[in-house]
Amino acid sequence: MGIVVQKYGGSSLADATAVKRVAARIVESRRAGHDVVVAVSAMGDSTDDLLELAEGVSPEPPARELDMLLTAGERISMALVAMAISDLGCTARSFTGSQAGVITDSVHGKAKIIDVTPGRISSALADGHIVIVAGFQGVSQDTKEITTLGRGGTDTTAVALAAALGADFCEIYTDVDGVFTADPRIVPSARKLDRVSSEEMLELAASGAKILHLRCVEYARRYDIPIHVRSSFSELEGTWVLPASAMVDDQGEAMEQAIIAGVAHDVSEAKITVVGVPDKVGEAARIFEKLAAAQINLDMIVQNVSAAATNLTDISFTLPRTDGQTAMQALAELQAEIGFESLVYDDKVGKISLVGAGMRSHPGVSAKFFSAIASAGVNIDMISTSEIRISVVVSEADVDAAVGSVHTAFDLDAAEVEAVVYGGTGR
Q: Does 21 bind a second copy (CB under 8 A)?
A: no
Taking the complex as a whole, the smallest distance from the CB of residue 105 to a second copy amounts, in Å, to 19
Select from 3, 36, 80, 390 the one that contacts a second copy (CB under 8 A): 80
Q: Does 65 bind a second copy (CB under 8 A)?
A: yes
Q: Does 66 bind a second copy (CB under 8 A)?
A: yes
Output b/e per residue, 65-97; b: 16+ Cβ within 10 A: ebbbbbbebbbebbebbbebbbebebebbbbbb
Q: Does 103 bind a second copy (CB under 8 A)?
A: no
Binding segment (CB under 8 A) for a second copy, from list 75-83, 357-365, 382-390, 419-427: 75-83
Select from 6, 11, 47, 94 the one that contacts a second copy (CB under 8 A): 94
> Site mask, a second copy, residues 138-157, x = CB under 8 A?
------x-------------
Q: Is residue 389 a known part of a binding site?
A: no
Q: Does 59 bind a second copy (CB under 8 A)?
A: yes
Q: Does 54 bind a second copy (CB under 8 A)?
A: yes
* Integer Cα distance of 78 and 75 in angstroms: 5
Taking the complex as a whole, the smallest distance from the CB of residue 112 to a second copy amounts, in Å, to 22
Cβ proximity to a second copy, 77 vs 198, nearer residue? 77
Cβ proximity to a second copy, 53 vs 255, nearer residue? 53
| Contact of 202 with 190, CB cutoff 8 Å | no
User: What's at 196, amino acid-wise?
Assistant: V
Q: How many residues form the binding site for a second copy (CB under 8 A)?
A: 38
Q: Does 133 bind a second copy (CB under 8 A)?
A: no
* Integer Cα distance of 408 and 420 in angstroms: 14
* Integer Cα distance of 425 and 205 in angstroms: 12
Binding segment (CB under 8 A) for a second copy, from list 14-22, 266-274, 319-327, 335-343: 14-22
3-state DSSP assignment of residue 270? strand
Cβ proximity to a second copy, 40 vs 247, nearer residue? 40
Q: Does 62 bind a second copy (CB under 8 A)?
A: yes
Q: Is residue 194 a known part of a binding site?
A: no
Q: Is residue 74 a known part of a binding site?
A: yes
Binding segment (CB under 8 A) for a second copy, from list 67-75, 316-324, 348-356, 385-393: 67-75
Select from 3, 19, 206, 419 the one that contacts a second copy (CB under 8 A): 19
Taking the complex as a whole, the smallest distance from the CB of residue 139 to a second copy amounts, in Å, to 10
Q: Is residue 8 a known part of a binding site?
A: yes
User: What's at 286, amino acid-wise?
Assistant: R
Taking the complex as a whole, the smallest distance from the CB of residue 45 to a second copy amounts, in Å, to 14
Cβ proximity to a second copy, 67 vs 203, nearer residue? 67
Q: Give the strand order in the sheet containing 301-303.
A: 301-303, 312-320, 269-278, 342-346
* Integer Cα distance of 81 and 88 in angstroms: 11
Instruction: Give burial (CB, 10 Å; 0-12/13-18/19+) of 295.
Output: exposed
Binding segment (CB under 8 A) for a second copy, from list 89-97, 224-232, 308-316, 376-384: 89-97
Dihedral angle, C-alpha 282, 287, 289, 293, nearest 10 °: 160
Beta strands 301-303 and 312-320: pairing type? antiparallel
For 169-181, give the DSSP string.
Answer: EEEEEESSSS-BS
Helix ranges, 58-196 (H): 63-87, 119-126, 153-165
Helix (H) or strand (E) holding 38: strand 35-40
Cβ proximity to a second copy, 148 vs 198, nearer residue? 148
| Contact of 205 with 214, CB cutoff 8 Å | yes
Select from 14, 29, 45, 50 the one that contacts a second copy (CB under 8 A): 50
Spell out the residues 6+ positions from residue 156 whose beta carbon is closer than 8 angstroms to its own.
113, 149, 213, 215, 216, 219
Taking the complex as a whole, the smallest distance from the CB of residue 60 to a second copy amounts, in Å, to 8
User: What length does the chain have?
Assistant: 427
Q: Does 93 bind a second copy (CB under 8 A)?
A: yes
Query: Residues interacting with a second copy, by CB under 8 A?
Result: 15-16, 19-20, 23, 50, 53-54, 56-62, 64-66, 68-69, 71-72, 75-76, 78-80, 82-84, 86-87, 91-94, 99, 144
* Residues annotated within a binding site for ATP: 7-10, 174-175, 185
